[in-house]
Structure 1
């Protein structure tokens, strides 16, 4: 059974290759979408190649709704977006995938039923399909090579849906069981290296020693050290000193 998460239906209009249907299913499920509709697939249904390509997302194909026409596929929807890379001489709002999926999220939250149309691989949606849509989605691609593979277009749109509905941390660091080193720990590491390097005669000539020590302290403060890093660097230096003394 499909999940109960409110979401748009992704409608594949007259898809030609089973592999692309499977890729679309996989792309949808990557981002938590599982309402697939398919109209008039060229190679019939079910399609073994679609199943093979879908991999772990085969459930979407099992539960896909099959229609004979675009009108039937969106007949229960209150708002429809049509993806297209070409101007169609039709007066329609034109949105980027980002804006469209943000708009779709708001409409679905208000109780509307939304669908997104994706055209066949050869030439995309026909005007007869697009006139059934309330708005179009156009990706700002290279105008000299605007064609997107069906699976790619579904992936891009599904990603924007996820961004519009799921908060994601833009950047984070996996601490792997440790914590950031605090100021005292960094200071202890800096002092340890300074003392041992001083013993080794590293700070030479004398008139440059203070500047060299200052630069070394600045190096430690610039490094985002964890406690594990500091312990390891202490250990490296201790072992080098022991090795030198044994020699």
Structure 2
């Protein structure tokens, strides 16, 4: 059974190759979408090539709604987006995938049922198909090569859906088994380096020493360190001192 998460239905209109249907299902499942509708696939249904290409997303194909025509596929929908890269001469709102999925999320939250149409690989949706949509999704692509593979187009729209409703972490740091160094640990490191550099005569001339120490502390503060980093830097300084005491040149 499809998941309980509210989401748009992705409608593949007259898809031609089973491999592309499988790629579309895989792209949907990558981003947690599983409401797939297939309208009049050229090579019939089910299609073993679609299953092979779905790579673990076969459940979407098993549960896909097979429709004879587009009105059947859209019978329960209240708002429809159509994806196209070409100017169609039809008066409709044209939205980026990002803006479209933001609107879709708002409408679904209000209880509406949303569909996104994707056309056949060779020429995309016909004007007759797009006339049934409320708005157009246009992907900003190279105008000299605007053709997108069906799976790619599905992936782009599905990704924008996830960005709207998912808990997307835009930046993180993998600490492995370590932890960030505490303020106290960093302060001990600063003191260690200042003491040893003072002994080595680094802070010269005396009139500039205070400003040099300030700049050094500022350097440490710009380097967010783990406890392992701090321990390594302590070790580097201790080894340098030992080497010098042994008469190193």
Asked if Structure 1 and Structure 2 have the same fold, meaning a TM-score greater than 0.5 normalized by the shorter chain, the answer is yes
Pairwise CA RMSD: 2.3
Equivalent residue runs for 1:136-155 within 5 Å: 136-155=136-155
1:156-194 Cα shifts (integer Å, max 9, x gaps): 111111122124343333344544334332222122223
CA distance in 1, matches of 2:21, 2:163: 23
Q: Which residue of 2 aligns with 1:174?
A: 174
Aligned: 1:108 with 2:108: yes
Consecutive unaligned residues of structure 1, counting only runs of 5 or more, are: none
Q: Which residue of 2 aligns with 1:129?
A: 129
Distance 1:240 1:44, change over 3 A: farther
CA distance in 2, matches of 1:10, 1:21: 11
DSSP 3-state at the match of 2:155: helix
Q: Which residue of 2 aligns with 1:62?
A: 62
Distance 1:214 1:26, change over 3 A: same
Aligned: 1:185 with 2:185: yes
Q: Return 110-119 or 70-79, whichever deviates more.
A: 70-79
What is the Cα deviation at residue 235 of structure 1? Answer: 2.3
DSSP 3-state at the match of 2:20: helix
Q: Return 212-221 or 25-34, whichever deviates more.
A: 212-221
1:118-176 Cα shifts (integer Å, max 9, x gaps): 00111100011111111111112222222111111101111111122124343333344
CA distance in 2, matches of 1:98, 1:7: 15
Q: Return 63-72 or 164-173, whichever deviates more.
A: 164-173
Q: Return 12-21 or 189-198, whichever deviates more.
A: 189-198
CA distance in 2, matches of 1:27, 1:216: 49
What is the Cα deviation at residue 85 of structure 1? Answer: 0.9
Distance 1:214 1:107, change over 3 A: closer
Equivalent residue runs for 1:31-50 within 5 Å: 31-50=31-50
Output the TM-score relative to the length of structure 1. Answer: 0.88
What is the Cα deviation at residue 32 of structure 1? Answer: 0.6
Distance 1:211 1:77, change over 3 A: closer
CA distance in 2, matches of 1:217, 1:135: 56
CA distance in 2, matches of 1:56, 1:142: 32
Q: Which residue of 2 aligns with 1:236?
A: 236
DSSP 3-state at the match of 1:56: coil
DSSP 3-state at the match of 2:55: helix
DSSP 3-state at the match of 1:76: coil
Output the TM-score relative to the length of structure 2. Answer: 0.88
Q: Return 167-176 or 105-114, whichever deviates more.
A: 167-176
